Structure 1
Amino acid sequence: MDTIRITPRRLARMVAAPTAVLAVVMSLLGVMYLAYIADPEGNLHDFPIALVNQDVGDTIDTDGRAEHVNFGKQVADALVAGVPADQVDLRVVGISESERLMRTAQIYGAVIIPSDFSKRLGILGVGSVVGGEIERPIITVQTNSGMGPYSAGIVTRIGAQAMAEVNKQVGDQLTTRVRDTLAASPQGSPEISGAAQLTLAQPIQVIEQEWRPLRAGAGMGLTAFFYALLILMAGVVGAMVIHTMVDAQLGFQPTEYGPWYVHYPPTPISRFHTLLLKWGVMVVVAVVISLLYLLVAKILGVAGDQPVQLLLFSVLALIAVGMTCMASLAAFGTAGLLINLAVFVILGLPSSSGTVPIQATPRYIAWLAEFEPMHQVYLGMRSILYFESDYAAGLGRGIWMSLLGLLLALIGGIAITRYYDFKGLHRENFLDKKAV
């Protein structure tokens, strides 16, 4: 066997080329992943939460005259003023609109002031000096569990921070009102007990509540992310495997397993028809893999109540990802592997919003989520698994973005391979040229 001597210059290239490529790729990976998780609350922006004030108010006696008050409105106004507008998108809506926004995955949670808030607050003031059992007025902070476990924590912390200041303001007002009422009483000015003062200082009880708790097997809202990740990886890895094995069968590269080595004679086939063949294999693989994923999900109890929708969307998304990866490989060759890695994995996972809400990531990552495939697949999976396949909850966007990606893959793949064939850049033409 002829041997080619490895010169110092060639050895230097062997070391420098992969080192440079890996340095760039891994640096990008480090920047994206560490920036994604480093400071979610510091990166918070446009985080949507609903504020619902159902309080109908109450009539109280003030200096011998009836006065209508609405403490719920005061609390709502205080929340709007107290919540940082550059971080939280606080939407003041009715209860039916809040339910719709929750159901369609448009908000991460809601702060709800009940209809009897003013009445209970008035009773609390009277009860602080009159014997008997009383209950503190309640404000409910609802979390949308289907939006992911981290989002629920952010909603709870925002609610706790905002309500702490509101509680102080309301407590100060209520204490002053009670003292003024006692001072004007003909019976004199009885003292407020220490226990009553503590109650008046923190008059509002904040209750945390899950809106439609997720069923068993939902993984606290993480199964949609991991299912989307499985689909994405099947598309990327599947494209690489199909690309390599089909090329080996066509004789464009050798096949080697351990000591077994074979290099089939080259097949006279154009780049365009080679790509069509690979795409056809990808369609078959997408159906088989999606069925296997669904079977595993059913066995583990994570498939949800929409198995048909889950299967169909999985097939569509897998075909779109796989065919796009193959078009990239057809256009750029080996460099397509790095492009696919960057687009689908390095940039895709941090912008997916599957673990950390997209509104809690740096703005450039939120911008990537507008078109990155992983985010679109995740939205579709989340809608199917947690929101009854509601199109408005992300399934519609997932379908149309998958179709758009598939269309771009078809147009780009056909155009580039046709162009290469038209220019006479057939792969078989290079087989007779020996490397010097």
Structure 2
Amino acid sequence: MATEVKVPALGESITSGIIAAWNVKDGDYVQKDQVLYELETDKITSEGLAEVAGVISLSAEEGDEVEIGAIIASIDESAEAPAGGKAPAAAPAAEEPAPAAAEVPAEQSDAISPAVRRIAAEENIDPATVTGTGKGGRVTKGDMLKAEPTNRMPAAEPAKPATPAPVKPAAAAVPAGERTTRKRMTPLRAKIAERLVSAQQEAAMLTTFNEADMSAIKKLRAQYQDSFVKKHGIKLGFMSLFVKAVVNALQEVPGLNAQIDGNEIVQNHFYDIGIAVSTPKGLMVPVVRNCDQLSLAEIEQEIINYATKAREGKIGIDDLSGGVFTITNGGIFGSMLSTPILNAPQSGILGMHTIQDRPVAVNGQVEIRPMMYLAVSYDHRIVDGKEAVTFLVKVKQALEDPARLLLGV
């Protein structure tokens, strides 16, 4: 009896994906819930698990674009499991040297993803000693990245002295003699490009700027950081304060908490704020829900959770849907000033930038203060310049005088 392996439905708007990697080979014996493949779509990357145990037969290759519901493999349940439940290995023709210290033991290799095996090899960490947080206790890439030194593999026995081998040069990024290289655009990157161009073509986008003195925020964090960490187990960052400042400003200027739907203006009365994050696969904007009802600690925890999911490639469709406003922080990369692009169909996006000590006039005196440029891009079709400027001033005031957030003024 053979069980078909089909591409699962991942969301109403997702119709196809690309098989980024097969974690098994044709003819391998697979266990139930074992990770078979990684599927990359225009929104997320997901893993496909085996529904049953048996010998797998692949009918699609890495790099193939497959439709939702397509059959990409089959598993023969009637096939008997080899000794130990693993795929039979070919007998070696001659005695082989012992594996290097950083190699993953053979009995584990089919239960972990290529990313975990790579980190195990590069960082010399034994996956067997790492507590897995994935399905069924499986060790994930994030688990390996957070592994402590105590999880490192024991060093291999020293070999007999020999003439040192010549150091191999690092692999060239571009093949010798090649002037250009080509690679297929991933669905996620293609979708990002499409959305950015669409936002510029469809919205009457305009950007207004201001600057904020971050002295009060930095003093607040320094004064209460230890107590905050002791009580909540996480650090107080800048982003939660910016989220609260944005919510306060949206409540004062509701025009930026609206969007166009055909010939209608939809006014939102909730505060789900998107936080733009850069991942190896592209820009994503997970949404922190009901920010008006969350404490600073709860917002910080949500951001940490999303950062972990982004690092492990586990952000889902629901995580990215339904935001009313977006915050993006180019300052972490050193950006001093930028004009952020709207995240359609939203009508506003706030750009944070790097904090720099600059001379400013304070009560008639020149002082050195930590200053940040702020930028808000908005859809001029439904947001007037007065509203946008007022919104940004409200954000600036909340950051420069955090007591406003407590008092709601």
The alignment's TM-score, normalised by the length of structure 1, stands at 0.26
Greater RCO between the two (CA within 8 Å, min separation 6)? 1
| Larger gyration radius, structure 1 or structure 2 | 1
